[in-house]
């Protein structure tokens, strides 16, 4: 319910929010977490962030998405970007159509937030120099942590 009235999830289709609620379609690959109880005990944290979702790894419930009440700050304890791009084969790595749509809607939201920022490069030359197209990803093999890496010298 907090998710439905949130900024981050508000433009997600209903069926997708439903899938997020009942299917295991988010990649959670972290060791540390914040419990609802500890969050609630911290008045400053509570005043700053609103909890939008929790996950359960079978042992512990943990906060998986938060957004700031007043600022464009977001925190995810899952990997919205991995479903369409990361093909390392390990438990929790999902590529289902719903997982990929979640990734799409999350990135659309972040892009729309970023576009509120009016910062820009002073010139086309400097902009071109910063583009990712200047760099080639390197295939690291299916057994590596990430199948593709970028190297910036």
Assess contact for 27 and 16: CB atoms under 8 A. no
Query: Rule CB under 6 A: is residue 141 a binding residue for ligand NAG?
Result: no
* Distance of closest approach, residue 29 Cβ to ligand NAG, in angstroms: 14
- Cα(53)–Cα(58) distance, integer angstroms: 16
Per the residue annotation, which of 79, 95, 119, 120 is the catalytic one? 79
* Distance of closest approach, residue 50 Cβ to ligand NAG, in angstroms: 19
Q: Is the four-CA dihedral 94, 98, 102, 107 of positive or negative sign?
A: positive
With CB under 6 A as the contact rule, the residue among 38, 40, 107, 149 that binds ligand NAG is: 38
Assess contact for 79 and 26: CB atoms under 8 A. yes
With CB under 6 A as the contact rule, the residue among 4, 10, 35, 96 that binds ligand NAG is: 35
Q: Select 24 or 54, whichever has its Cβ closest to ligand NAG.
A: 24
Burial of 49 (0-12, 13-18, 19+ CB in 10 A): buried
Is 79 one of the catalytic residues?
A: yes
Query: Rule CB under 6 A: is residue 94 a binding residue for ligand NAG?
Result: no
Q: Which residues contact 76 (CB under 8 A, 6 or more apart)?
A: 64, 65, 106
Q: Select 33 or 84, whichever has its Cβ closest to ligand NAG.
A: 33
* Distance of closest approach, residue 153 Cβ to ligand NAG, in angstroms: 40
Residue position matching structure tokens 């929010």: 17
- Determine the angle formed by the axes of helices 97-114 and 14-22, rounding to 10 degrees: 120
Q: Select 89 or 153, whichever has its Cβ closest to ligand NAG.
A: 89
**List of residues contacting ligand NAG (CB under 6 A):** 23-24, 35, 38, 58
Catalytic residues: 79
């Amino acid at each position: 319910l907090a998710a439905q009235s949130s900024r981050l999830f508000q433009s997600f289709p209903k069926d997708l929010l439903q899938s997020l609620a009942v299917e295991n379609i988010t990649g959670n690959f972290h060791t540390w977490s914040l419990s609802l109880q500890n969050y609630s005990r911290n008045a400053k944290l509570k005043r700053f962030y609103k909890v939008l979702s929790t996950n359960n790894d079978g042992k512990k419930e943990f906060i998986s998405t938060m957004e700031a009440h007043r600022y464009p700050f977001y925190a995810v304890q899952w990997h919205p970007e991995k479903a369409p791009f990361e093909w390392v084969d390990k438990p929790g790595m999902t590529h289902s159509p719903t997982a990929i749509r979640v990734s799409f809607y999350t990135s659309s939201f972040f892009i729309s937030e970023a576009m509120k920022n009016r910062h820009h490069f002073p010139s086309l030359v400097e902009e071109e120099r910063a583009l990712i197209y200047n760099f080639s990803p390197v295939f690291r093999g299916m057994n590596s942590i990430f199948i593709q890496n970028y190297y910036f010298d």
